[in-house]
Amino acid sequence: MTTLLRIELERFRCRGVLWLVAGLLLLTGSGYVLMTWGHTAPASAAEVAAATEAFRVDAEGAKQFVERCLELQATDEGNDLDCRPPDLPTLSQYIPEPPELSWELGDAVGGMKVPVLIAALAMGVSFVTAEFGARTMGTWLTFAPRRSRVLASKTGAAVIGVLPAALAALAVTIGGVVLVYLVRGLDLGEASVWTDLLRFVTHLLPAAAVAAVLGAGLAFAVRNAAAVAGIVVWWALAVEVALPQIIPALAPATLGLNLRAWLEGGAEYTVQECRPDPDVLGAQVCEDVARTVGSAQGGLVLLLTAAVVLAIGALVFRRRAVT
Amino acid sequence: MTADLAISTRGLRKTYRKLNMTRSVAVEGLDLDVPVGGVHGFLGPNGSGKTTTIRMLLGLIRADAGTMRLFDQEVPKALPEVVGRVGAIVEQPKFFPNFSGRRNLTLLAGAIGVDPKLVDVVIADVGLADRAKDRYRGYSLGMKQRLAIAATLLKDPDLLIFDEPTNGLDPAGIREIRGTMRGLADRGKTVLVSSHILNEVELVADTVSIIARGRLVASGRVTDLIGAAATTAVRVGVPDPAVAGPVLAAQGWSARLDGHLLVVEGAPDPGRITQVLAGAGIFVNELVPVRADLESVFLELTAGQGPGTHAESADHAPHGRRAQKGGAE
């Protein structure tokens, strides 16, 4: 088994498409770093000039207000007026300031969630379907005939192979954003930033592993990348989008909600609860009630889904002819 | 089942579901015995079930019914134990196109725990040493086939299964493969070769099994099968066949015109024909005994049993010929 896993990892390492997907993931992370660079740039001369002008106009307005107020105060009508000058902001508050690191990191790493999961799914799918597509599986099975071992080693390699790519992309994103703040000489904020970030990353990586297992399982079941894509799109539209709208109580069955719950420490959904209207006979009063899916429940549902899909893939792989 | 059989199947059956939900029979109650040692030809028309049988033996397809044994071990149950003794090329085997020939074989060697150094040895054996570092996708058809043979040799198997190994090869390539198969058999290996190039099989095979519509129709030594089909026909060239015909017919032999030659059947030996014709003042300028070959035996046994025809019992094989099972003993 270890030998097969080692060989599958070697194959994973040598697949150009998987490097391409990993490269795109890194590129996406780099994009967030570039955006941070833009967000944290010092105000330009034009922005400073515009801020100075806005400050001057407001200060002038305040001055005029005080003058006018004092004039009115001098009269009988305005002797009860409070003519203290309003609290004017300082000029620095008129100049755009960079966002806090916690906000920028949350935006960047949160934005990487979907690309990481899609990349993990795609890698799992591609790694398995390529072998069926190239018709090398038949050759392989004449050397390693235990199909369950072949499936396990291939899925294991997909999971192990996906993690470094996801980790590298997240490292580039987080490291890049922090580096931007250091280069700009900006405040890194409080330690709680890192606690939240660590929690998110340690939940995203297992989710990526689950996505790779899902991809491999689907690929073993249908053997064709286009067919897997079709199933994923159908699931997204029919189950993730339409089902909760038609039957809100089934929202906890969607992967999207459970994924959010797993990654964010819980997720809310609303259901309508109705009771008889005490004022009108036969009528009902309905209200939206928020319910919560916990992080552990979300993780469990994701894990069970991956296990079921992999089991289906294994069953099909064991029974179906290999050409 | 006996230990002197490399392959043995009994009542092997495989059907495929068609789009209209009916089932087509690919293999129907096949009883196949391949003795240990030598080259065994596995012949049959296209669609007769050769590749399906091989795939079932290798566990790539599940059989609907019947039993299969490799070296007296039941497969696919015992396939993991016996697969190390079996090297196979099924149709055009595929390797990873972006890997070099050597890397492909190194990965396969790893799967069966073979010393990676053996990879270079088998690559050299099949004459691919110069191209071992090149990507598989750049290989010619012949090179791909040779790499596949090298892959089977990695295991140093006792049984080699070659399914249409000469497909797409040029004459030199075919000759090489033939030499390889013969060489392996001479080293004590068992080689099962399925092919539709019958003269190639005849040149290399010691025994053959012929199947049609998924059933065995004949099996045995090549010489025995050809011998059984041999006739006493002789092609005779004479200046005037119209005159010679009646002379031969007067002896009670049949003589029919085939082109400019007479085909004479029923004569005890060719010498008698020359004697009779010379006695009538007709001098023979050509005398060729008509020999049966594997192709004629094959065509006789499988006539009208191409793909799409209905399965037929071996007991009712064409021309009343019964399968000669166990003819190799």
| Helical ranges in chain A per DSSP H | 2-13, 16-39, 45-74, 91-94, 101-133, 137-143, 147-184, 192-222, 225-234, 243-246, 255-264, 295-319
Residue B11 has which token pair? 């009542």
Does the distance separating the beta carbons of A146 and B80 come in below 8 Å? yes
Say if CB B251 and CB B267 are below 8 A apart.
yes
Same domain for A118 and A20, yes or no, is: yes
B268–chain A nearest CA distance, Å: 53
Does the distance separating the beta carbons of A134 and B108 come in below 8 Å? no
* Position B229 pLDDT exceeds 80: no
Does the distance separating the beta carbons of A145 and B151 come in below 8 Å? no
Among all residues of chain B, which has the CA nearest to that of A132?
Answer: B94
B203–chain A nearest CA distance, Å: 28
Does the distance separating the beta carbons of B90 and A142 come in below 8 Å? yes
Q: Which residues in chain A are closer than 8 Å to B58, comparing Cβ atoms?
A: 141-142, 145
B197–chain A nearest CA distance, Å: 23
Same domain for B81 and B119, yes or no, is: yes
Domains held by chain B: number: 2
Q: Which residues in chain B are closer than 8 Å to A16, comparing Cβ atoms?
A: 98
Residue B2: what pLDDT? 56
Instruction: Give the CATH number of the domain where residue B14 resides.
Output: 3.40.50.300
CB under 8 Å to A98, separation ≥6 — which residues?
Answer: A39, A40, A41, A104, A184, A186
Question: What is the share, in percent, of chain A residues with pLDDT greater than 90?
Answer: 56
Stretch among A212-216, B125-129, B199-203, B299-303 having the lowest mean pLDDT: B299-303
- For residue A289, being part of any structural domain is answered with no
Of B83, B87, B94, the CB nearest to A136: B94
Q: Which residues of B10-46 are buried (b: 16+ CB within 10 A; e: fewer)?
A: eebbbbeeeeeeeeebbbbbbbbbbbbbbbbbbbbbe
Find which of A309-313, B81-85, B223-227 is predicted with most confidence, using mean pLDDT.
A309-313
Stretch among A74-83, A250-259, B179-188 having the lowest mean pLDDT: A74-83
> For residue range A108-153, what is the model confidence (pLDDT) as tens digits?
999 999 999 999 999 999 999 999 988 889 989 988 889 999 999 9
Residue B227: what pLDDT? 67
Residue A314: what pLDDT? 97
Same domain for B220 and B256, yes or no, is: no
- Per DSSP, the three-state class of A113 is helix
Same domain for A110 and A146, yes or no, is: yes
Q: Is A7 on the interface with B (CB under 8 A)?
A: yes
> For residue range B45-85, what is the model confidence (pLDDT) as tens digits?
888 899 999 999 999 999 999 999 999 999 999 998 998 89
Q: Is B77 on the interface with A (CB under 8 A)?
A: no
- Residue A273's φ and ψ, nearest 5 degrees, are -115, 130
Residue A137 burial by CB count (10 A; 0-12/13-18/19+): exposed, middle or buried? buried
- For residue A129, being part of any structural domain is answered with yes
**Mean pLDDT across the stretch B25-32?**
92
CB under 8 Å to A121, separation ≥6 — which residues?
Answer: A211, A212, A214, A215, A232
Residue A283: what pLDDT? 86
- Per DSSP, the three-state class of B322 is coil
B38–chain A nearest CA distance, Å: 22
* Position B314 pLDDT exceeds 50: no
* Position A74 pLDDT exceeds 90: no
A185–chain B nearest CA distance, Å: 47
* Position A230 pLDDT exceeds 70: yes
* Position A68 pLDDT exceeds 50: yes
* Position A200 pLDDT exceeds 80: yes
Q: Give the domain extent around A85.
A: 45-94
Distance CA A3, CA A11 (A): 12
Among all residues of chain B, which has the CA nearest to that of A141?
Answer: B60
Q: Which residues in chain B are closer than 8 Å to A145, comparing Cβ atoms?
A: 58-59, 76, 79-80, 83
Say if CB B114 and CB B187 are below 8 A apart.
no
Q: Give the domain extent around B191.
A: 5-227+296-320
Q: Is B76 on the interface with A (CB under 8 A)?
A: yes
ipTM over 0.85: no
Residue B228: what pLDDT? 64
Distance CA B137, CA A22 (A): 24
- For residue A265, being part of any structural domain is answered with no
Residue B324: what pLDDT? 46
Residue B329: what pLDDT? 30
Same domain for B15 and B99, yes or no, is: yes
* Position B316 pLDDT exceeds 50: no
Terminal Cα distance for chain A, rounded: 23
Domains held by chain A: number: 2
**Residue A255: closest CA among A223, A200, A298:** A298
Residue B317: what pLDDT? 38
Residue B40: what pLDDT? 95
- Per DSSP, the three-state class of B71 is coil
Of A134, A139, A142, the CB nearest to B83: A142
A314–chain B nearest CA distance, Å: 15
Which one of B60, B73, B92, B160 would you mutate to disrupt binding with A, by most A Cβ within 10 Å of its Cβ? B60
Chain A, window 92-151: residues with a beta carbon less than 8 angstroms from a chain B beta carbon: 134-136, 138-146
- For residue B326, being part of any structural domain is answered with no
Residue B170: what pLDDT? 80
Say if CB A90 and CB A136 are below 8 A apart.
no
B216–chain A nearest CA distance, Å: 23
- For residue B327, being part of any structural domain is answered with no
Residue B218 has which token pair? 């004949």
Q: What is the Cα A28 distance to its own chain's centre? A: 12
Residue B319: what pLDDT? 36
**DSSP letter (8 states) at residue B131:** G
* Position B312 pLDDT exceeds 60: no
Same domain for A50 and A175, yes or no, is: no
Q: Which residues of B137-158 are buried (b: 16+ CB within 10 A; e: fewer)?
A: eebeebbbbbbbbbbbbbbebb
Instruction: Provide the pLDDT confidence category of residue B328 given band limits of 50, 70 and 90.
Output: very low
Instruction: Give the CATH number of the domain where residue B236 resides.
Output: 3.30.70.100
* Position B1 pLDDT exceeds 70: no
**Mean pLDDT across the stretch A309-321?**
95
Q: Is A322 on the interface with B (CB under 8 A)?
A: yes
Q: Is A316 on the interface with B (CB under 8 A)?
A: no
- For residue A137, being part of any structural domain is answered with yes
Of A139, A143, A321, the CB nearest to B112: A143
Distance CA A302, CA A211 (A): 9
Same domain for A59 and A27, yes or no, is: no
* DSSP-derived pairing of the beta strands B5-17 and B65-70: antiparallel
Instruction: For chain B, give the mean pLDDT.
Output: 83
The DSSP H or E segment spanning A286 is strand A284-293
Same domain for B106 and B236, yes or no, is: no
Question: What is the share, in percent, of chain B residues with pLDDT greater than 90?
Answer: 37
Q: Is A2 on the interface with B (CB under 8 A)?
A: no
Say if CB B209 and CB B43 are below 8 A apart.
yes
How many residue pairs bridge chain A and chain B with CB atoms within 8 Å of each other?
Answer: 69
Residue A256: what pLDDT? 94
Say if CB B72 and CB B5 are below 8 A apart.
yes
To 5 degrees, how large is the angle CA B113–CA B117–CA B121? 115
Same domain for B139 and B167, yes or no, is: yes
Instruction: Provide the pLDDT confidence category of residue B6 given band limits of 50, 70 and 90.
Output: very high
Terminal Cα distance for chain B, rounded: 14
Same domain for B267 and B221, yes or no, is: no
Residue B306: what pLDDT? 54
Q: Is B58 on the interface with A (CB under 8 A)?
A: yes
CB under 8 Å to A287, separation ≥6 — which residues?
Answer: A272, A273, A274
Does the distance separating the beta carbons of B86 and A11 come in below 8 Å? no
> For residue range A148-193, what is the model confidence (pLDDT) as tens digits?
999 999 999 999 999 999 999 999 999 999 999 999 888 887 777 8
Distance CA B171, CA B41 (A): 19
* DSSP-derived pairing of the beta strands A267-276 and A284-293: antiparallel
Distance CA B204, CA B192 (A): 11
> For residue range B189-221, what is the model confidence (pLDDT) as tens digits?
999 999 877 777 888 899 999 888 889 988 888
